Structure 1
């Protein structure tokens, strides 16, 4: 008896639900092309909506992409039923069932009889015994249907193309019969009549799919997927190696610190503790950032591998129509993924933690105020295609000149705004019009805007495209800044809300007047609260333990854990408001009343005072730096304008 060869391929990964880890039951796929059992994704949707207290949609369990809710259905319990069925997976399940067990005649089963099936109809998707097969051929409507021998299919004697027809995703009761060349879209009769009746180039699906498996388009897509898998894998390996190097360098730095410690006196005990605290905090924060990058890249890798498996499987085992259908699904996703990858790679830095001992060591006890310096060195790594390598110009942030790149009239001449950088774009709050607006990275073009339920004040990045906006007196809105969609509105009765800063994806800090409050994002519960002397309208989280806030009309406190590291005060700034930090760790305090910005070190030492005129506005309100960049934005409280600036040598 013949032994199956190609059909013995292992499709367990392709046919296994990633939620229940069992073979698919009614496979449904999301817009990102990840497939799940209908019951599994239904349970996940209901749980996500209930947990997040949202009704606008849910995120894919694998790649975390947001899936919008079905507008016509109010009950989340019904969303899963509207998702399209993954017909290719369903047919592959039929294939495996035929290969692993005896198939019973479907017609006989309707009469409550059990008869072994001999053939499979690729049009009807049904199995027939010898007698029913004869009847099937005798009907005019089904006489020309293609029948395959089940025994030959089972043991590899017949190429397994389970089905010659495909169902329409938009009209599930119809089959695909046409293909619109103008829109590169498969159509059923309803689609062709309603949506493509004015198109000039509509042909049969058989003609459009003819030769597709041998086409350059199919082979190029398979090759492109393979290259993406390799490239993403290389970047993940680089991130993991970088993480290991950081962990190794931490041990080396501790050893060096210990060696220096043995040569000096008791005076070192106090500043050694300060250094080790800074080292632990810095290393942990860098580790979190690298793990976030690895996590995101892993999700991309998972998606591409899944698509690669899908396209290779349909090339080997699917029909031409199936091949065309899968290519139409995957091709636009590849372009979208590459765009996202390019945006992500632009921000990937090669990170190292470097220790610089203070000098002169020999006169340390008398003069030194710090044990040494922990800093993070970042350089941009090669992009996805391996042809572009970004190099940063060395800039002295403490003495460099300030160039005004663009002054943006966010609020049409009046009002208050706060702004941030998100994936090379600019987002601003517009208090007077109850909305958030998005500009290009040069601040020259308004791209889009999103209406909010009330007046927004501050804005902060949660992770990647996810953004949080404070809505006084007691609410915060979570936004998808890529799609400019409102994801969730969180209410905190009794907790005043104004300034906002994220410690990590789970914990954020909100401030208002005389309180600074820590909130768990997942549970919405208050974790901690600190009373201040007042004027604490903005807060800046610098690490897991470090944060800064105004504590009076002319002073700012820097706190590590529960210990105050320093208090900065200056007679030439009144009512400190927005707080910022550059990639070198220098701190910035905006003062609208004094019309200036104070730049200080992370130990509270004065560096310089930047007049408001130097950044192109009247009364500085908030200041934010682009991650790993010399660019920053300063907003104005009175004119509603924002200035995009850069520090250059």
Structure 2
């Protein structure tokens, strides 16, 4: 017996009804694109009517989107049969049945007989036994239909393309043969004759769909789905964290109230009880609000996941026609989703519970007051602001120029938490500023001259020194935690791979160092001048290779080498939130912005960022803000792309 291929094993979720949790039987899909068995969704609709939950439509059982009943309002039992069939899912079910050697002859099943199928008609999308296959070939209308051997399909000799032929949604008895470019709509012969007879650009579905899986529209849609799925995950995680923080705050307040209880007289028992009731009420109110926001995001996420799973399946297993049709189905819903997400993000508030104890205790009439404080959540609203920025064409605005070294010197800098950290080579210092760079908060004297600085985890940073040392510093308390000394490695720039590993650059090599042992884990020889390096992942890194080029490597392989005669002495390298790379050309007095494929986007003059001889460039996490430091002037510039 044939076993299911890896292909179909991964589609159990896609082929399972979320109501009955069994494989689809007559799959029907709603306008939100969630699919259910016809009998399951029919039972759900009728049950909702009986409970009085339906007035002009019903809600999707998964994402709660409202589905209009249309003309069949008075007869709910007709709603489910009138829903469009999901031909793609039906074809995937056929494919799985064929690969599992479970496919029975469709003609025999009509006569309540079970006969193992031998062939598959790609036009009728039906399986036939040997006898029915002969009959199928004897009819003039089906004599030229292409039949595939099921055993060959199971073995992989003959490929199985899902949904080569599509049924018209307007006229289910007819197949889609044309495509109206004027209305971006697929048509059967009836549609083309009746609805699109005056349209000028009607072509065959094959011609219109040609190349759609590799088209920019398909690629853009896939990227949008991935992006929105990720954003919704972040919002849900943010809301869950906020909910947990609120619950923790409530618990802490209860503990404080219990401690105060021992300091006052017996009548405080009543006040305590009153306060607990208020706390419980507040917790309930805040919990309902946050859970409502989470439920909305979960419903959006469910819709996006369903669209993404379906579209990824089409890209991997569907035909060109199916891809085009899915694009037409999903793209309008993406626009609606984007508008709804913008409204959602604008209205999201950071919720916290604040307790103000009464004082003095002798005059106590209540423990204190409870209030719910709501303020815009910068993490979420930041997503909205950044999503509207074009990092490749956006203007650069200087926010603040800081005289880090007091008129002359070399520095490197990073954003960490809500602070800015800079090294000062000539003064053997690390200095800490507030996030806007307007106030010097503290400083730390190091044993030797610092060169570069990189974030390890939370407040921990690594600082390199040309005296063959790397220092681990707690930037919160501004204390030196650990010193690594390397006898044979000249240390210049460094970049952290993760909290347990960093890369250091020297003139002709890159070296990977383990934390906390300080042992060398790996080493790569370079051509020359690889003093600064940027880690882009566990195996990806980019570094300067000579006087006017940089090299992007993945492991031991080179992904690309970027060379430009307008780039001189490449030093610090930064990366923005969307993956564009920025190379500080120290001697060419410019910054080269390139894609992560090595293509030049634009050359930014150093004067644009207010810095001569740019030395390092670093972006704030999840932000459009960045800092550029100088080799000579001792200044650092805080900028943003708008």
Same fold (TM over 0.5): yes
Alpha-carbon distance in 2 for matches of 1:365, 1:290: 38
Alpha-carbon distance in 2 for matches of 1:71, 1:317: 36
Runs (5+) with no aligned partner, structure 2:
388-642
Deviation of residue 140 (structure 1)? 5.4
Is residue 256 of structure 1 aligned with residue 256 of structure 2? Answer: yes
Return closer, same or farther for 1:36/1:110 CA change in 2, 3 Å cut-off.
closer
Per the alignment, residue 504 of structure 1 pairs with none
Alpha-carbon distance in 2 for matches of 1:348, 1:188: 46
| Deviation per residue, 1:390-438 (Å, 9 max, x gap) | 9xxxxxxxxxxxxxxxxxxxxxxxxxxxxxxxxxxxxxxxxxxxxxxxx
Deviation of residue 294 (structure 1)? 1.3
Paired residues of 1:357 and 1:372 also in contact (CA < 8 A): yes
Per the alignment, residue 443 of structure 1 pairs with none
Per the alignment, residue 468 of structure 2 pairs with none
Q: Give 1:125-136 correspondences, 5 Å limit.
A: 125-129=125-129, 133=133, 136=136
Alpha-carbon distance in 2 for matches of 1:389, 1:321: 35
Return closer, same or farther for 1:136/1:162 CA change in 2, 3 Å cut-off.
farther
Return closer, same or farther for 1:48/1:117 CA change in 2, 3 Å cut-off.
closer
Secondary structure at the counterpart of residue 354 of structure 1: strand
Q: Give 1:168-317 correspondences, 5 Å limit.
A: 168-266=168-266, 268-317=268-317
Per the alignment, residue 26 of structure 2 pairs with 26
Secondary structure at the counterpart of residue 373 of structure 2: strand
| Deviation per residue, 1:424-468 (Å, 9 max, x gap) | xxxxxxxxxxxxxxxxxxxxxxxxxxxxxxxxxxxxxxxxxxxxx
Per the alignment, residue 378 of structure 1 pairs with 374
Per the alignment, residue 78 of structure 1 pairs with 78
Alpha-carbon distance in 2 for matches of 1:58, 1:146: 42
| Deviation per residue, 1:554-599 (Å, 9 max, x gap) | xxxxxxxxxxxxxxxxxxxxxxxxxxxxxxxxxxxxxxxxxxxxxx
Secondary structure at the counterpart of residue 283 of structure 1: helix
Alpha-carbon distance in 1 for matches of 2:151, 2:67: 42
Per the alignment, residue 158 of structure 1 pairs with 158
Alpha-carbon distance in 2 for matches of 1:282, 1:298: 24
Secondary structure at the counterpart of residue 386 of structure 1: helix
Return closer, same or farther for 1:315/1:6 CA change in 2, 3 Å cut-off.
farther
Paired residues of 2:16 and 2:23 also in contact (CA < 8 A): yes
Deviation of residue 70 (structure 1)? 2.9
Deviation of residue 2 (structure 1)? 9.5
Per the alignment, residue 14 of structure 2 pairs with 14
Paired residues of 1:4 and 1:156 also in contact (CA < 8 A): no
Q: Give 1:228-627 correspondences, 5 Å limit.
A: 228-266=228-266, 268-359=268-359, 361=360, 364-366=361-363, 368-381=364-377, 382-383=379-380, 386-388=383-385
Secondary structure at the counterpart of residue 183 of structure 2: coil
Q: Give 1:13-92 correspondences, 5 Å limit.
A: 13-52=13-52, 54-72=54-72, 74-92=74-92
Alpha-carbon distance in 1 for matches of 2:142, 2:382: 51
Alpha-carbon distance in 2 for matches of 1:311, 1:233: 19
Secondary structure at the counterpart of residue 71 of structure 2: coil
Per the alignment, residue 450 of structure 1 pairs with none
Flag the structure with larger Rg: 2
CA-atom RMSD in angstroms: 2.7
Alpha-carbon distance in 2 for matches of 1:199, 1:242: 54
Stretch moving more, 306-315 or 192-201? 192-201
Return closer, same or farther for 1:385/1:304 CA change in 2, 3 Å cut-off.
farther
Secondary structure at the counterpart of residue 296 of structure 2: helix
Paired residues of 2:59 and 2:66 also in contact (CA < 8 A): yes
Secondary structure at the counterpart of residue 70 of structure 2: coil
Deviation of residue 243 (structure 1)? 1.3
Secondary structure at the counterpart of residue 388 of structure 1: helix
Paired residues of 1:231 and 1:384 also in contact (CA < 8 A): no
Deviation of residue 37 (structure 1)? 0.9
| Deviation per residue, 1:108-140 (Å, 9 max, x gap) | 667888764332111011223456556655665
Per the alignment, residue 397 of structure 1 pairs with none
Deviation of residue 28 (structure 1)? 0.9
Alpha-carbon distance in 1 for matches of 2:334, 2:381: 13
Per the alignment, residue 494 of structure 2 pairs with none
Deviation of residue 274 (structure 1)? 2.7
Alpha-carbon distance in 1 for matches of 2:345, 2:194: 42
Deviation of residue 51 (structure 1)? 0.8
Return closer, same or farther for 1:135/1:267 CA change in 2, 3 Å cut-off.
closer
Alpha-carbon distance in 2 for matches of 1:389, 1:198: 44
Return closer, same or farther for 1:132/1:208 CA change in 2, 3 Å cut-off.
same
Return closer, same or farther for 1:156/1:14 CA change in 2, 3 Å cut-off.
same
| Deviation per residue, 1:219-277 (Å, 9 max, x gap) | 22122112222111111111111111111111111111222232333453443333222
Alpha-carbon distance in 2 for matches of 1:82, 1:177: 23
Secondary structure at the counterpart of residue 290 of structure 2: helix
Secondary structure at the counterpart of residue 67 of structure 1: strand
Runs (5+) with no aligned partner, structure 1:
391-649
Paired residues of 1:225 and 1:307 also in contact (CA < 8 A): yes
Secondary structure at the counterpart of residue 71 of structure 1: helix
Alpha-carbon distance in 1 for matches of 2:293, 2:66: 19
Alpha-carbon distance in 2 for matches of 1:248, 1:324: 49
Per the alignment, residue 595 of structure 1 pairs with none
Paired residues of 1:350 and 1:378 also in contact (CA < 8 A): yes
Deviation of residue 181 (structure 1)? 0.9
Paired residues of 2:29 and 2:84 also in contact (CA < 8 A): yes
Deviation of residue 320 (structure 1)? 1.3
Per the alignment, residue 446 of structure 1 pairs with none
Alpha-carbon distance in 1 for matches of 2:113, 2:273: 81
Return closer, same or farther for 1:206/1:52 CA change in 2, 3 Å cut-off.
same
Paired residues of 1:106 and 1:127 also in contact (CA < 8 A): yes
Per the alignment, residue 118 of structure 1 pairs with 118
